[in-house]
Amino acid sequence: MLFNTFKYYLFLPAIVLVYFLLPFRWRNALMLSASYFFYMSLKWEFGFLLLFISLVTYIAGLMINGTSIVKQRKIWLAAGVIIPLGVLGYFKYAGFFLGETASFLNSLGLDVRQSYLKIALPVGISFFTFQALSYVIDVYKEKIKTERSIVNLLLYVSFFPTLLSGPIERASNLLVQLKQEQHFSSDRLLEGAKLILWGLFKKVVIADRLATFVDQIYASPEVYGGSTLFLAALFFTFQLYCDFSGYSDIAIGSARIVGIRLVQNFNLPYLASSIADFWKRWHMSLTSWFRDYIFLPLSFALSARISRERILFMKTDMFIYIIASLVTWLLTGLWHGAGYTFMAWGLLQCIFLVFYRWQTKPAKRFYKSLGISQKNKMITLAGSLLTFITVMVSWVFFRAENMSDAGYIIAHMFAGWSRMPYLGSSAFDTALGLALIVFLFIIQVFQYHGIVSLNAGTSAVPRPLRWAGYALLLVMIAMFGVSTGQFIYFQF
């Protein structure tokens, strides 16, 4: 069952209605049953995998809490981390390594059919596995208390709004709320409905429309000129954002209706003034997960073991930052998928962030020598434009089928603009896609300045005009909505 299907909008109201009619003590059992029904409607076999990881997480948490012996606690921590990661690794990376092995054997003259080596990837496995891991690690570090109710813990891992593509929640936020009695609120209903409407608009009107053009160009990029490749890269930049942030809005809105406040996952990332600012705004639940469980522990571990002031002609803190960033971003790339393009994408983010940190102090001194404030509007605008172009180029690796295609697109997308870009099979759809990008940008600028609020909060727009805007979104969904099936991040 997908957020962009009619079935979901029969399922959600039914669950909400029964949820608030039931006594509090039965609500989490209902929500757990609904979450497994939601997940198993996609492929019923994967429900057993979800249950297995959840049970491992539950048992590991109990056993860690049940002993004060450090060695035994570490053993159960290892079990609670290694087993889910092993399952994730098998489904996500075994196919890649088997494929590489088959290619090598084929190069030696041995006939190995790679079609036999494909392993189906369970939808959402990266998301609910990371959610489970954070619980076990936080229990071990005594940041949270062990959850003794198996229903509550299983629901925390499988809560249907977050199950397929996040946000990746921590137990300190989601599990705590699941144990609190919620009461129906018409204000929350409207708040959640607005988020769902906006998310659905971004998905079916913008993202899926842009996908048609993007898929055609990326299927054979060598056929097209620079202006067409640039347009495809631009379209994918907004397709990815609208697809994933649209999912997050629907997830957050769905949870909001039943009184659960999920963490924010996107905060106007394409208005970021620097690459560091961008990664504070994009997929915030994932970046904070890698920061808290990979980057910071690794940085602290290296700091404790290195006593020298300088290493390789650089300050130790910079060296540690480079190593921790490299490991973190390569793992982030691998989290998205087993492929050289994802690793290259992760490496690029590391390079961008290291360069940004390296130039921060020299840039500050430079602007000061000119008597210019770094908060100058023109400098901020230039920084935002440079950041956007940088991110757009890196997304080419994210979308390209292989390194060869990615290299070709990047090498040609800024050249050969002497002819008009190819506008796809439908010039109207492509022109509409551009118009929708402009529309989205205007709305987000209004959000940035607090004129429009699509989340909770006050808005400077008069109420009749706001409701007219919601009606317009509904009309546009009905008139211009298309569907390409799944959300992009389901593959991760």
Active-site amino acid positions: 336
Q: Are 130 and 166 in contact (CB under 8 A)?
A: no
Q: Is the dihedral of CA 310, 292, 53, 485 positive or negative?
A: negative
Q: How far is CA 280 from the centre of its chain?
A: 12
Q: How far is CA 256 from the centre of its chain?
A: 19
Contacts of 202 (CB under 8 A, 6+ apart): 242, 243, 245, 246, 249, 440
Give 387-415 as a 3 state SS string.
HHHHHHHHHHHHHCCCHHHHHHHHHHCCC
Number of H helices, E strands in the chain: 20, 2
Cα separation of the two ends of the chain: 17
Q: Is the dihedral of CA 388, 394, 400, 406 positive or negative?
A: positive
Q: Are 281 and 272 in contact (CB under 8 A)?
A: yes
Partnered with residue 310 across adjacent β-strands are: 315
Q: Which helix (H) or strand (E) holds 310?
A: strand 310-311
Closest by alpha carbon to 336, among 86, 205, 82, 165? 165
- Asked if residue 167 has a cis previous peptide bond (ω within 30° of 0), the answer is yes
What is the spatial distance between Cα 120 and Cα 102, in angstroms, rounded to a whole number? 18
Q: Which helix (H) or strand (E) holds 315?
A: strand 314-315
Amino acid at 428: F
Q: Are 454 and 473 in contact (CB under 8 A)?
A: no
**Alpha-carbon dihedral angle through residues 214, 485, 4, 399, given to the nearest 10 degrees:** -40
Amino acid at 400: A
Question: Crossing angle of helices 377-399/340-369, nearest 10°?
Answer: 170
